[in-house]
Amino acid sequence: MAADAVGNWTVEVGAIVSRGDIDREEEFARRLDALHEIRRFNQIIKTNMERACTNKSTTGDPDDAPAELVRAHRASGLISVQLDALDLLANPASAMSFTPRPWVFYRTVDKIVPIYRVIGDNRDVRIRLSGTSVSDAFVDQRTIHIIPSVFIDNAVKYSASGDMVDVHVCDELRENRPVITLQVTSNGPAVSEAEERNLFHQRGRGDAARAVTEGSGVGLTLAKIVADQHKGWIAASQKSIGLNKAEWTFTFQIPRLGPSPPR
């Protein structure tokens, strides 16, 4: 599948970037060009799937189309998210060159959650979005979606069949400053304190995580890059709920524009 191929290439790109393999830069550039071609082809698929969903919908809402069409449309969105992450992984410095624009962050999360339900359904893991926020934040729309994508992807990946992933967005104060808060809570393998401190560093996957499922180990690193880009705050915490099992909460806060929430 295309999504699997992109995931495998993400792992390889991470290895190249982390060890600075200059001898393979040209080969890497060719593969990146090929991935950009995949992006172009995927955009064609995505556009046509959206049209097909709209045509098959009785209400005009693409999500009301037959389930198979909706899943295919969301899968193309999932590939787009992976390609965006790969672009950032290849050139992290690009995150610092952007013109901030006001944007309702909740809209990004609301768009990402249905995309990851494609994976959740395959693993019998439900994703629940709660909370609300109508506040703007200064964002780079090329990258801001990477944070909820990485949080939700990890949550679904490490959840067991029948588990629930809770995604919550709200406006609040942090150190008397107005922020928008995203929290993703789920169950997963417990890690040592040292591994927990290393989560946002490249190749920061713990031994327990590696035993549960495969992964590139760079997703949270990318989320940290995007958080820094937006002058935000990012953190992870675990609470033991059994032998080698923990409830995990991943948090991202971004400075919010507009008035403070009522107390």
User: What confidence tens digit (pLDDT) does each residue in 78-104 have?
Assistant: 788 888 887 787 777 777 778 889 999
pLDDT at 16 exceeding the cut of 90: no
pLDDT at 262 exceeding the cut of 50: no
pLDDT at 258 exceeding the cut of 70: no
| CA 63/CA 67 separation, integer angstroms | 8
Handedness of CA 205, 206, 211, 213 (dihedral sign): negative
User: What confidence tens digit (pLDDT) does each residue in 205-254 have?
Assistant: 555 555 555 555 688 999 999 999 999 999 999 999 988 899 999 999 99
Comparing 31 with 200, the larger pLDDT belongs to 200
Least confident of 52-61, 111-120, 143-152: 52-61
User: What confidence tens digit (pLDDT) does each residue in 28-50 have?
Assistant: 677 667 767 777 777 787 788 78
| CA 80/CA 184 separation, integer angstroms | 21
pLDDT at 263 exceeding the cut of 50: no
Q: What is the mean pLDDT of residues 143-157?
A: 95
pLDDT at 228: 93
Q: Pick one of 3.30.70.2170, 3.30.70.260, 3.30.1360.20, 3.30.565.10 as the CATH number of 101-255.
A: 3.30.565.10
pLDDT at 17 exceeding the cut of 80: no
pTM given for the model: 0.77
| CA 151/CA 202 separation, integer angstroms | 15
Q: What is the mean pLDDT of residues 16-21?
A: 50
pLDDT at 12: 56
Confidence of residue 14 (pLDDT cuts 50, 70, 90): low
Spatial CB neighbours of 199, under 8 Å, sequence gap ≥ 6 = 191, 206, 220, 236
Output the six-digit token pair for 2.
Answer: 């295309």
Output the six-digit token pair for 37.
Answer: 């071609």
pLDDT at 173: 92
| CA 246/CA 50 separation, integer angstroms | 39
Average pLDDT score over the chain: 82
